[in-house]
């Protein structure tokens, strides 16, 4: 069991971010064993042809389906809206001694700190000699790993990044509101069944034990599409961090939203009803256009009407605007009379 003990100032330091590198690494785990994460099978089927001929051998060897992953591959994100290139440069700057130490942990197993969703650490790798060679040449190993990270990003994650980031940004928006309205309890209440808030302590069900005060460092919350269906934890000496599946992750690979109820379609029109139903999780105009298979201009026009009626609202995050339902929109879309 993991126990993070909060002081008053730690609650004020709860913050959100998401990480392209975290998505990349957990995406590799999905590909290694899709049966554990069947929700992402549409993505798996789409990207496997893109990976043919790519040399990802070393990267796959250090990112197994379960167990320990080197911490240097998943540095805690430093900004709310990180850039993959900037995160990759952080990995490239990892000191060689850190690379060597964590590669040895990967090869021979460890029950030490931090798991990044790593499940059953403590395994022993039969190819211990090859791991030792990798650890003995940390600079070369790091160079190869970074090159393979970049190849995998370009082939398998970047083409889908807009939809993924829409979902992650929407979850950050939703939970930031909950934090402002209800404090820490509002954020953690429905975050994940493995996470519980009691008194001044956050409990996370894990197979290993840790208890410690955040001591003014606060907690970094990182929504991640590919971490589903589990949560992932990182503890000191790294920045304390909890990665969790975002709200609405089941909608990510839908080619089209669910058909709207007839009563709702009759009231506001079928296309606007489809938009309102699709906004069960926040999304951009581009993502809605893709999911509904209509032009962005048509989506913008319908959103304008829904916004004027007080059913949706837009929130600017970086260069994009995410649309989400208002309380009135939720009430209309979820009303039994509209079903």
Domain, as residue range, for 267: 254-338
Residue 318 pLDDT grade (very low, low, confident, very high; cuts 50, 70, 90): low
CATH of the domain at 303: 1.10.10.10
Between 125 and 140, residue with greater pLDDT: 140
Q: Examine the fold and report which residue of 220, 252, 284 is the final residue of a domain before the chain moves on.
A: 252
Is the same domain home to 198 and 325?
Answer: no
Nearest in space to 28 (alpha carbons), one of 43, 13, 10, 16: 43
Q: How far apart are CA 64 and CA 279, in angstroms?
A: 35
Is the same domain home to 227 and 96?
Answer: yes
Is the same domain home to 246 and 301?
Answer: no
Is the same domain home to 95 and 194?
Answer: yes
Is the same domain home to 61 and 188?
Answer: yes
Please tell me which of 111-115, 125-129, 326-330 the model is most confident about, judged by mean pLDDT. 326-330
Nearest in space to 26 (alpha carbons), one of 317, 289, 244: 244
Count: domains in the chain: 2
Is the same domain home to 192 and 64?
Answer: yes
Count how many Cα atoms sit within 13 Å of the Cα of residue 58 in the half-sphere of its side chain.
20
Is the same domain home to 194 and 219?
Answer: yes
Is the same domain home to 43 and 134?
Answer: yes
Compute the mean pLDDT over every residue in the chain, rounded to the nearest whole number. Answer: 81
Is the same domain home to 186 and 274?
Answer: no
Strand partners, 283: 323
**Per-residue confidence (pLDDT) for residue 9, from 0 to 100:** 79
Pick from 82-86, 113-117, 213-217: least confident: 113-117
Nearest in space to 105 (alpha carbons), one of 145, 64, 77: 64
> What DSSP character marks residue 81?
S
Q: Per-residue pLDDT averaged across 81-90, rounded? A: 89
Nearest in space to 320 (alpha carbons), one of 287, 284, 270: 284
Please state the separation of Cα 8 from the chain's center in Å: 27
Residue 93 pLDDT grade (very low, low, confident, very high; cuts 50, 70, 90): very high
Q: Per-residue pLDDT averaged across 304-327, rounded? A: 81
**Per-residue confidence (pLDDT) for residue 175, from 0 to 100:** 80
Is the same domain home to 233 and 281?
Answer: no
Q: Examine the fold and report which residue of 216, 233, 252 is the final residue of a domain before the chain moves on.
A: 252
Pick from 141-145, 221-225, 291-295, 296-300: least confident: 291-295
Is the same domain home to 101 and 139?
Answer: yes
Is the same domain home to 50 and 194?
Answer: yes
Q: Examine the fold and report which residue of 193, 222, 252 is the final residue of a domain before the chain moves on.
A: 252
Between 333 and 158, residue with greater pLDDT: 158
The answer to pTM > 0.75 is no
Q: Per-residue pLDDT averaged across 311-319, rounded? A: 76
Q: How far apart are CA 54 and CA 63, in angstroms?
A: 16
CB 268 within 8 A of CB 232: no
- pLDDT of residue 122 exceeding 90, the answer is no
- For the stretch 201-233, what's the b/e string if a residue is b when 16 or more beta carbons lie within 10 angstroms of its beta carbon? ebbbebebebeebbeeebbbbbbbbbbbebbbb
Residue 143 pLDDT grade (very low, low, confident, very high; cuts 50, 70, 90): very high
């Amino acid at each position: 069991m993991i126990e993070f003990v909060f002081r008053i100032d730690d609650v004020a330091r709860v913050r959100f971010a998401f990480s392209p590198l975290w998505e990349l690494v957990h995406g590799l785990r999905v590909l290694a064993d899709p049966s554990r994460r069947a929700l992402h099978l549409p993505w798996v089927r789409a990207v496997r042809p893109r990976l043919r001929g790519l040399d990802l051998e070393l990267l796959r060897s250090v990112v197994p389906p379960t167990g320990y992953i080197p911490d240097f591959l998943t540095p805690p994100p430093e900004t709310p809206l990180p850039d993959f290139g900037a995160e990759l440069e952080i990995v490239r700057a990892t000191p060689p001694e850190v690379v060597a130490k964590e590669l040895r942990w990967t090869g021979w197993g460890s029950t030490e700190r931090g798991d990044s969703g790593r499940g059953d650490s403590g395994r022993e790798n039969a190819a211990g000699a090859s791991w030792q060679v990798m650890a003995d040449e940390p600079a070369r190993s790091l160079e190869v790993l970074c090159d393979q990270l970049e190849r995998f990003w370009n082939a398998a994650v970047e083409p889908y990044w807009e939809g993924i980031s829409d979902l992650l940004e929407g979850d950050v928006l939703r939970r930031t509101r909950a934090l402002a309205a209800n404090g820490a309890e509002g954020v953690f209440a429905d975050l994940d069944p493995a996470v519980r808030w009691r008194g001044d302590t956050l409990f996370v069900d894990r197979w290993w034990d840790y208890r410690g005060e955040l001591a003014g460092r606060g907690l970094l919350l990182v929504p991640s599409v590919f971490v589903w269906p589990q949560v992932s934890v990182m503890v000191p000496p790294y920045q304390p961090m909890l990665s969790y599946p975002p709200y609405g992750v089941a909608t990510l690979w839908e080619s089209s939203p669910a058909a709207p109820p007839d009563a709702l379609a009759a009231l506001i029109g079928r296309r606007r009803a489809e938009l309102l139903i699709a906004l069960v999780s926040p999304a951009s105009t581009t993502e809605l256009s893709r999911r509904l298979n209509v032009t962005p201009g048509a989506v913008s026009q319908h959103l304008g009407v829904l916004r004027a009626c007080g059913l949706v609202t837009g929130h600017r995050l970086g260069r994009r605007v995410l649309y989400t339902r208002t309380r009135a929109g939720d009430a209309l879309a979820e009303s039994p009379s509209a079903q």
